[in-house]
């Protein structure tokens, strides 16, 4: 069955006519109260932890344990700013350093992985070279290699060149994104017609100029998607930095907060940092939420690219 024939162009066309079709059907079928109740329940489920975190970031430790408002509502006292101050004071504000590290790793890893994926994907899609099919086969296999299986060998490899416990130990492995290359190849094949490239070449544009002026603008939706996926991947990464970093000043915010949590859980010997953990977690999720909300129109279509075959 040739079910996977939808190209990005067709998807766009489908989307244009779909809005009205769905609306018409919705009108015929009434306001669809059942569907909306179902969605409401889902939204409550998905939002509750975030709501809890928002509320918790305004409480002090005592309030977290048994405040006047209960776990899901605000207390009488509003401690967000004193928690914020706590984050600045604790170990000389190491939290902000962690947050900065996360940004550094996510942006350098994400941008680097995207640039490499664009170049490699475009190369796979538009140039014939010897062994292309074989390389692409290896790449497809690589998509299925569990990246965590590489963490321990990568650690040993990096330690043999003395890169363990440096920022490169996180950034360099993050540049690898077989799935990104795969997405770019699929997209470049569909979205950049060979005729257009040939026309540009006949008009005297060099390969580099053709790539930057013709291909790159056409690839934009895929670029944003791959960029988001790899930034999120690096930002969320936990296993790799946990394994390759031990200097507290180099940790990303995920590993750092996890350390605070372990410290607080240690009980009598540890320190209770609960209010700093919740406030720190709250602040750390804001940047990505903003990124996703503001880049909606790109990723909503882009995430389905992989299924285009």
- Applying the rule CB under 8 A, the residues between 64 and 123 that interact with other proteins are 64-65, 70-72, 116-117, 119-120, 123
Q: Taking the complex as a whole, how short is the minimal distance between the CB of residue 141 and other proteins, in angstroms? A: 8
57 near other proteins, judged by CB under 8 A: no
User: Distance between CA atoms of 298 and 13, rounded to whole angstroms?
Assistant: 16
User: What string marks each residue from 242 to 281 as x (binds other proteins by CB under 8 A) or -?
Assistant: xx---------xxx-xx--xx--x--------x--xx--x
141 near other proteins, judged by CB under 8 A: yes
Q: Return the number of the residue (34 or 204) whose C-beta is nearest other proteins.
A: 34
The total of other beta-carbon atoms located within 10 Å of residue 94's CB is: 16
Q: Taking the complex as a whole, how short is the minimal distance between the CB of residue 270 and other proteins, in angstroms? A: 10
Q: Return the number of the residue (128 or 203) whose C-beta is nearest other proteins.
A: 128
User: What string marks each residue from 213 to 232 as x (binds other proteins by CB under 8 A) or -?
Assistant: -------------------x
Q: Supply 153's token pair.
A: 């060998």
196 near other proteins, judged by CB under 8 A: no
User: Distance between CA atoms of 13 and 225, rounded to whole angstroms?
Assistant: 20
Near other proteins by CB under 8 A: residue from 85, 89, 239, 248: 239
User: Distance between CA atoms of 305 and 309, rounded to whole angstroms?
Assistant: 8
- Give Cα 47 distance to the centre of its chain: 19
Near other proteins by CB under 8 A: residue from 33, 133, 156, 202: 156
Q: Return the number of the residue (172 or 204) whose C-beta is nearest other proteins.
A: 172
Start-to-end CA distance of the chain, whole Å, equals 13
Q: Return the number of the residue (131 or 204) whose C-beta is nearest other proteins.
A: 131
Q: Return the number of the residue (201 or 287) whose C-beta is nearest other proteins.
A: 287
User: Distance between CA atoms of 49 and 284, rounded to whole angstroms?
Assistant: 15
- Nearest Cα to Cα of residue 120 among 135, 109, 102: 135
Q: Taking the complex as a whole, how short is the minimal distance between the CB of residue 300 and other proteins, in angstroms? A: 6
User: Distance between CA atoms of 221 and 12, rounded to whole angstroms?
Assistant: 12
| Contact of 181 with 121, CB cutoff 8 Å | yes
Count of positions on this chain that bind other proteins (CB under 8 A): 104
- Give Cα 289 distance to the centre of its chain: 10
């Amino acid at each position: 069955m040739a079910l996977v024939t939808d190209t990005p162009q067709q998807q766009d066309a489908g989307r244009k006519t779909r809005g009205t079709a769905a609306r018409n059907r919705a009108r015929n079928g009434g306001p669809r109260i059942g569907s909306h109740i179902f969605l409401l329940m889902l939204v409550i489920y998905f939002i509750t932890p975030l709501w809890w975190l928002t509320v918790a970031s305004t409480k002090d430790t005592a309030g977290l344990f048994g405040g006047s408002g209960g776990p899901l509502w605000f207390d009488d006292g509003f401690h967000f700013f004193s928690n914020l101050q706590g984050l600045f004071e604790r170990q000389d504000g190491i939290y902000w350093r962690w947050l900065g590290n996360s940004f550094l790793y996510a942006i350098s890893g994400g941008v680097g992985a995207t640039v490499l994926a664009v170049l490699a994907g475009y190369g796979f899609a538009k140039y014939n070279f010897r062994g292309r099919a074989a390389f692409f086969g290896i790449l497809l296999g690589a998509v299925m290699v569990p990246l965590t299986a590489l963490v321990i060998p990568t650690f040993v490899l990096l330690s043999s060149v003395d890169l363990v416990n440096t920022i490169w130990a996180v950034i360099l492995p993050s540049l690898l994104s077989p799935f990104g290359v795969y997405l770019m190849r699929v997209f470049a094949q569909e979205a950049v017609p060979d005729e257009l490239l040939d026309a540009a070449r006949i008009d005297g544009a060099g390969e580099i100029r053709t790539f930057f002026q013709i291909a790159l603008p056409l690839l934009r939706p895929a670029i944003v998607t791959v960029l988001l996926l790899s930034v999120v991947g690096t930002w969320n990464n936990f296993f790799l930095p946990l394994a390759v970093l031990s200097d507290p000043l180099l940790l990303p915010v995920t590993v750092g907060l996890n350390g605070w949590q372990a410290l607080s859980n240690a009980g009598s010997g540890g320190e209770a940092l609960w209010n700093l953990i919740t406030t720190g977690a709250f602040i750390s999720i804001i940047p990505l939420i903003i990124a996703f909300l503001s880049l909606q129109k790109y990723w909503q279509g882009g995430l389905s690219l992989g299924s285009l075959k």
